[in-house]
Amino acid sequence: MEAVLSASARVERVGFAKRLIISAANVVFLLLLAELLLPVPGEEVPVYLLIVAGALEFAYLLRVSLAGPGKGSIAAGDVAAIVFGVLVAWHLATTRFVLLDQMLFPKPEPVLRLFVTELPDMLKGLVNSLILLVSGYLIALATGIPLGLVVGWRTRLFNAVHPFTKVLGPIPPIVYIPYAIALLPSFRAASIFVIFIGAFWPVFINTVNGVFNIPKGLIDSARVLNLPERTLLFRVILPGAMPYICTGATLGLVFSLVLLTAAELIGANSGIGWYVKNFADFADYQRVVVGIIFISIVVTIITWGTERVERRLLRWRN
């Protein structure tokens, strides 16, 4: 029996290895290598682009080898194939055939070389951006979740607040910038306030909806046990509304990231959003693309971290 299981495991590993070799990601990676290594008249071998492609392929193979066969490996392969495809299209359209305006769409090799040069300055700006982002976002969580629990739990309070929510929620936070600058003591406080407003409403509204969608039978069972209201609120209502709270927190984070650039325009002279806007004003599109790539990496890391936190908070659903 053990021999049969061992043989079956070997067959499965061999089959997985074959599928990995002929996966879409590896096929597109080989096409990318062929494109980069095929000489272009007047152009040097794109060393930085080759390094990036090799690093991405290594990360993909490492991810698949650790995860094994399954949906995670398929998703990783699809993402890798898309990234490799974008790099192929970028190189073809700007370097080999020059199909796009070279000022608006710079070549990938100079952009990656400039990315390495600008990285220290962008990391310094990232610190300032994270201070604004984290401050505004955490204040939104600290106020939106408790208020949402109370408003969702108290029907009379909800009926009084709901009309104002429908009016104030859709208003773009940037319209408050003049008053934020005039009333708050510093430009940084005004920037944090703009991010806070953008994150608050998704968190608050989803928390209220989460309270409303808790099964009535669950609340009735808790009341039969004569639980104190505070215990009922934090031990029953809060966990029951947690999926909606996580959704609101994710939306709030997205809005915070979108508003970060607007917030950094309030008296700021550094930051990842300010970096892109500043060089766009001077038509330095190489640095604009560098900033976009850096922001994409930062956002990917942030969203990956928040997804891990959400999975841990909602592990009881699995």
The full DSSP string for 93-108 is IIIIS--S-TTTS--H
DSSP class of residue 234 equals: I
Domains of the chain: 2-96 (no CATH), 108-317 (1.10.3720.10)
This prediction's pTM: 0.84
List, for residues 132-179, the tens digit of each pLDDT value.
999 999 999 999 999 999 998 888 888 998 888 888 888 888 888 888
Q: Give per-residue pLDDT as tens, 170-226.
A: 888 888 888 888 888 888 898 899 999 999 999 999 999 999 888 877 777 777 777
Torsion angle, alpha carbons of 87, 88, 94, 97, to 10: 180
- Nearest 5°: the CA angle 50, 287, 189 is 125
